[in-house]
Amino acid sequence: MMTASSRRALRFGIKTTPMHLAYDDILRVWEEADELPELADAWLWDHLMPLAGPPGGAVLEGWTLLAALAARTSRLRLGLLVTSNVPRAPAHLGKIATTVDVISQGRLIMGLGVGGTRQPAGPNPAVSEYAAYGLPLPSPAEGLARLTETITILRSMWTEEVFDHDGPFTTLRGTRNGPGPVRPGGPPLLIGGWGDRTLRIVAEHADIWNVPGPPHNSAAWAAERGRVLDAHCAAIGRDPAEIARSAQIIVDYADPAGSRAHVTALAAAGIGHVVLALPRPYPRGAARRLVDEIVTPVRENGA
């Protein structure tokens, strides 16, 4: 049950999907959100081509855009929800992420996911995107193994002055990462995903776990996935309370009551952090509307 204290403890973020949008549109929302303490963080995605609408539409590269927005904000925690593990070599990704962490003065949250993999059935938008950019499409098992290796390399880059790495996919010699991240140990690690094997990696490594909520998945589904994560934590002896639970929803501008209901249901399912994803185009005052129509009412009365 969602109590008054749990409503007040809920943290909220905002997500702008950089698809069919100009940089100025995204910057306007981030600068507004940076002035609203009710919003704790802001997020982008990590795709190179549109997933909807005209296939030739504009898409800004996620980490480059994140660096620009980090330089134009001062308070918001920030990251990609989530970084695809496929396009960038692990140590290169670590250098990129560290640079953004330094630019933001330690505000980075390292969002990471498996990325596209070969699927046996159903639509797979990664196929055309990866083919267009010359990226390999690994099997699910290989994708998970590569994700685990990347996490190992990131941790080494953020905690060791110099290191070597001999892994199944990557060999590194004399790797250094100066300047290091702002926070000792590096940015917190958020892993996005929901499959049983991915949740095992979450249990082993993540500080934050994120899944897509409504309209894609229900709060009941998120709760069930949370129970699987709990079981993985129990199997390795980790306290599941050490992993913050996060979900994102797509806001409906015309139905704020419906969005509030989704947030309330997710909180009752054990989610402590909700990312409010904005549909395009962004109206004027979009971030303020989220606070006035969703965040404040939920914290005050859950309605």
For residues 112 and 82, the answer to whether their CB atoms sit within 8 Å is yes
Closest CA to 116 of 155, 82, 69: 82
Angle at 108 between CA 208 and CA 90, to 5 degrees: 80
Q: Which pLDDT value is given to residue 4?
A: 56
Give the C-alpha separation, 75 to 37, whole Å. Answer: 8
Q: b/e for 40-67, b at 16 or more Cβ within 10 A?
A: bbbbbbbbeebeeeeeeeebbebbebbb
Q: Which pLDDT value is given to residue 268?
A: 96
Q: Which pLDDT value is given to residue 119?
A: 83
Cα R_g (the chain), whole angstroms: 19
Beta strands in the chain (DSSP E): 11-16, 41-44, 77-80, 83-84, 110-113, 163-166, 171-175, 189-192, 208-212, 244-250, 273-278
Closest CA to 252 of 226, 286, 300, 208: 286
Residue with structure tokens 């099997």? 139
**pTM of the full predicted structure?**
0.95
Structure tokens at 145: 């193994």
Q: Which pLDDT value is given to residue 3?
A: 58
Q: Which pLDDT value is given to residue 303?
A: 47
Q: Which pLDDT value is given to residue 302?
A: 58
SS3 (DSSP) at 212:
strand
Give the C-alpha separation, 157 to 101, whole Å. Answer: 13
Q: Which pLDDT value is given to residue 121?
A: 72
Give the C-alpha separation, 110 to 112, whole Å. Answer: 6
- Helix, strand and coil in the chain, % to nearest 5: 45, 20, 40
- Centre a 10 Å sphere on the Cβ of residue 4 and count the other Cβ atoms it contains: 11
Give 10-residue mean pLDDT values along the chain (303 residues): 63 96 97 98 96 91 98 98 97 98 98 92 85 95 98 98 98 97 97 97 98 97 98 98 98 97 97 97 96 97 63
